[in-house]
Structure 1
Amino acid sequence: MLGYVRYEVLPAKATEDKVLSHVPRDVVVTVTASPVKGLEPTLDLATRLSAHGYRVVPHLPARLLRDDAHLKDVAARLGESGIDDVFVPAGDADPPAGIYDGALPVLRALSELGGPFARVGITGYPESHPLLHDDITIQSMWDKRAHATYIVSNLCFDGRALTDWVARIRGRAVELPLHVGVAGPVQRAKLLAMATKIGVGESTRFLTRHPSWFLRFATPGGYAPERLLARCADAFGTPAARVAGLHLFTFNQVAETEQWRRALLERLDG
């Protein structure tokens, strides 16, 4: 799973410098979007990182797009910057900025534009969505499959829940390749500061809705990404799982995440 890695970052002031200083060009960088700040910081950071030679995946939350014309303009802007991969969640802007209230209408609109992006990602929920029943989220992936090319699973700290979920979606004939979403080796104090200071990014908001998860970072031995991955290794190593790689939620602790990845690769090579 470490052969193909994506780092999710928040579009904060220092993010560009952190990525340039610590992330090699062969690591894909995904950029979240916030209903507070809107889509512009995401597009701006994504285009700048692309100009630096990174493969960049901006998040395009449906509820931050005004209409078809706005979507067309965004697609053209990203295309001019050489970006051919986007991630399309519903987002949680309330009320929506425009006509879209979910991801599927945006995905259909992109298809009607001729498919301007070679790769389009959608969200999966190994642990229950706060507002939707599990069967609805799996049905949603089925409905989106014709317009998407891969799934990114949201945060999960339970290895059994994660592997069971993958078995369930494959059993429902959802066959899109999966990038497994895992929290990086974040420090609890820094994570709390990030959530308080920035308060943006789907990953940060998701954690703030699950305060007990902060305890996993605080408890000695409570959470280490390599242990979670080890529990899932056998299940995810099968062709039927169709795991394409890892999606690491860095919470902008980019240096720490890259240091952890390199150290783990060295141990595995040894």
Structure 2
Amino acid sequence: MMDQQSAAALFNQTGGPRFELIPANGIVERAIAALPSHATLTITCSPTNGIDATIDTSIALAPRFAQVIPHIAARMIRSEEHLITMLDRLAEHNVHEIFIVGGDQEKPLGPYHHGLELLQSLATHENGLHRIGIPAYPEGHPHIDTDTLNQDFAAKAPYAHYAVTQMCFDPGQVLAWLQEKRASGLQLPCYLGIPGPVKLDKLLRIAPRIGVTDSLRFLKKNLKLSRKLMRGYDPGALVNAYTPYLSESDFCIEGFHVYTFNELDTLKKEVGGV
């Protein structure tokens, strides 16, 4: 279980942490049982589950939690009409914030090939959205080169209200990335992505897809942290490493984004503040 200091740092941020869930059978009931009603949830989007599963799950959870934020994958939107229908459905259930990603769909299902095109489209008409988030990759992306990634992030930032960093075990690398972006003029607030309690074998399966291979190399050099992960990872060390920077305006850290991997029972047990 996290110590009191790290739990306080995690949960005492304005609005508290955000918990990322994956649409799956029973996830609505499990989330209601494991997480407090004042929590903020984000719901992922993948080709396996489909974007409609993301919307349906978000709508099902919305009445039970303070805020629910669906991930909208640009490449999975079938048409502009499909987009408008989704946003109308969300607005009817008081969901007015979305998180835009390009998506892992190999071939676009409709007119949007990447997140920037979707952001530009949304900026041209009324859509009922109050906030939009975008991803950030301090460790890079498995399928996008660094220069392209930086150009894409800079182009998307003016259309967004905040960014969320990929999961990373090396706080030094994330803080260095933040310093670099702030020095270049970026003012977008950032949520720092941290893993919730998760077993190493599960992390190893997903790491190549989410671009955290540098973090795995970092773990190999930090055997103490690796041993903790083998038993079930406690994010307390990461939270404590970031805590001194949370109140520094130069970093503009909005809070924490917890990648739960749907390990909600473990999360409730390990993180005493939930």
* Deviation at residue 39 of structure 1 after TM alignment: 0.7
Whether the 8 Å CA contact 1:39–1:60 is kept in 2: the answer is: yes
Match of 1:219 in 2: 226
* Deviation at residue 209 of structure 1 after TM alignment: 7.2
Match of 1:230 in 2: 240
For residues 207 and 21 of structure 1, do their structure 2 counterparts lie closer, same or farther at Cα, with a shift above 3 Å needed? Answer: farther
Look up the SS of the partner of 1:101 in the other structure.
Answer: coil
Q: Which amino acid aligns with 1:109?
A: S
Q: Work out the CA distance in 1 between the residues paired with 2:248 and 2:151.
A: 24
Whether the 8 Å CA contact 1:159–1:229 is kept in 2: the answer is: no
Query: Is residue 239 of structure 1 aligned with residue 249 of structure 2?
Result: yes
* Deviation at residue 67 of structure 1 after TM alignment: 2.2
Query: Is residue 162 of structure 1 aligned with residue 174 of structure 2?
Result: yes
Q: Which amino acid aligns with 1:174?
A: L
> How many corresponding residue pairs?
256
Look up the SS of the partner of 2:38 in the other structure.
Answer: coil
For residues 238 and 120 of structure 1, do their structure 2 counterparts lie closer, same or farther at Cα, with a shift above 3 Å needed? Answer: same
Unaligned runs of 5+ in 1: 266-270
Structure 1 moving runs of 4+ over 6 Å: 207-211, 213-218
* Deviation at residue 8 of structure 1 after TM alignment: 0.3
Query: Is residue 134 of structure 1 aligned with residue 146 of structure 2?
Result: yes
Match of 1:122 in 2: 134
TM-score (normalizing by structure 2): 0.84
Q: Work out the CA distance in 2 between the residues paired with 1:56 and 1:204.
A: 27
* Deviation at residue 208 of structure 1 after TM alignment: 9.0
Q: 1:40 aligns with which of 52, 58, 61?
A: 52
Q: Work out the CA distance in 1 between the residues paired with 2:190 and 2:212.
A: 25
Query: Is residue 58 of structure 1 aligned with residue 70 of structure 2?
Result: yes
Q: Work out the CA distance in 1 between the residues paired with 2:94 and 2:121.
A: 20
Match of 1:27 in 2: 39
Q: Work out the CA distance in 2 between the residues paired with 1:72 and 1:252.
A: 29
Whether the 8 Å CA contact 2:169–2:215 is kept in 1: the answer is: no
Match of 1:268 in 2: none
Any idea what the Cα deviations from partners look like across 1:169-193, whole Å, max 9, x if unmatched?
A: 111211111111111121235x369
Match of 2:260 in 1: 250
Q: CA RMSD in A?
A: 2.7
For residues 182 and 236 of structure 1, do their structure 2 counterparts lie closer, same or farther at Cα, with a shift above 3 Å needed? Answer: same
Q: Work out the CA distance in 1 between the residues paired with 2:216 and 2:156.
A: 32
* Deviation at residue 212 of structure 1 after TM alignment: 4.4
Q: Work out the CA distance in 2 between the residues paired with 1:218 and 1:12.
A: 29
Whether the 8 Å CA contact 2:75–2:108 is kept in 1: the answer is: yes
TM-score (normalizing by structure 1): 0.85
Q: Work out the CA distance in 1 between the residues paired with 2:238 and 2:146.
A: 22
Whether the 8 Å CA contact 1:68–1:109 is kept in 2: the answer is: no
Whether the 8 Å CA contact 2:170–2:215 is kept in 1: the answer is: no
Identity %: 27
Look up the SS of the partner of 2:185 in the other structure.
Answer: coil
Whether the 8 Å CA contact 2:39–2:66 is kept in 1: the answer is: yes
Query: Is residue 147 of structure 1 aligned with residue 159 of structure 2?
Result: yes
Whether the 8 Å CA contact 2:168–2:215 is kept in 1: the answer is: no
For residues 113 and 179 of structure 1, do their structure 2 counterparts lie closer, same or farther at Cα, with a shift above 3 Å needed? Answer: same
Q: 1:260 aligns with which of 253, 258, 270?
A: 270
Match of 2:210 in 1: 206
Whether the 8 Å CA contact 2:76–2:105 is kept in 1: the answer is: yes
Look up the SS of the partner of 1:59 in the other structure.
Answer: strand
Any idea what the Cα deviations from partners look like across 1:79-122, whole Å, max 9, x if unmatched?
A: 11110110001111001111111101111111112242101000
